[in-house]
Structure 1
């Protein structure tokens, strides 16, 4: 693959997310999977992450007691959905990273994938990075969140040509995550509608500036 600079795909119109299959697997004996899939489907049409086990059971076509056999309470369901969201985000970022072997563009493209994920999944994004997950100590959720950060460290390390354990990599990765996350939140809150319609261009400028700062440090 050539290392010449290429135009990135538009942010929203060309999502890198693979199609999700929400087929009901209950009849195949996997009710837990069906409940998670239906939960993700419901979140796609909502602005906030509010789902009850009773509602979810009704949507899948099972009793509430059946749902409680797989999730002891609503928090357990929210954890499962947040973990699933982390896995989808990591998959989206892996897809764009594999499409270009240039480390700097990989860094920029994975940042765009992060913002794109937030725009397409506002309720799930809110659940993954909101107060609920910040105060939750689920080992599974912590492991999923840690993996997102580890992946970022690897991408940043390659982009700025430093070892992953170098303190500068950790600082730079933290800055990059803060930037894309803050940008995502501002976009979801409608703050950029008054400033610019060119979100793609804004993201490009942010990452070019980040790389410029990294090269000077």
Structure 2
């Protein structure tokens, strides 16, 4: 297993780090995914410990270089413009989520602005006609934001988490908050009842 102390820290170990945070919301899905990697809970703890050590190391090479060292060369790199800012999007495939890519948005100086899971270019996302279509691990932040626009971004409960507030069918279905970890939907909670 790549998460052991003697092995190289690679994609499988990195996926264990993502799963550790997702297990806070969806422990059953995270356990099944960990099993597909052939990893134990001890492997997952070790992977997280090693990742945190890399992130906090005073000799750290910077976030983008760290991702490259762990995930290898990006499958795809493309320029992006967000408002007035120019950056590069680096995308890597991960075996647990074959229809998604781990995307890192980096400034020209290599500083990382955002890192999360997005739909792989050219692949269709889920059909999201209403809140009932929102299932854990099936939609990304961007897909939910488009399907239920306008949405209101809310502060997440941790650095790797995002939340979106929205109403279903113009309020007729009530108000909701969708929670994401690393950009992937974890749960949806109704916060207000439907309009009569």
Q: Shorter-normalised TM-score: what interval?
A: under 0.3
The structure where strand makes up a greater share of residues is 2
The structure where helix makes up a greater share of residues is 1
| TM-score normalised by structure 1 residue count | 0.24
Which structure carries more relative contact order (alpha carbon 8 Å, separation 6+)?
Answer: 1
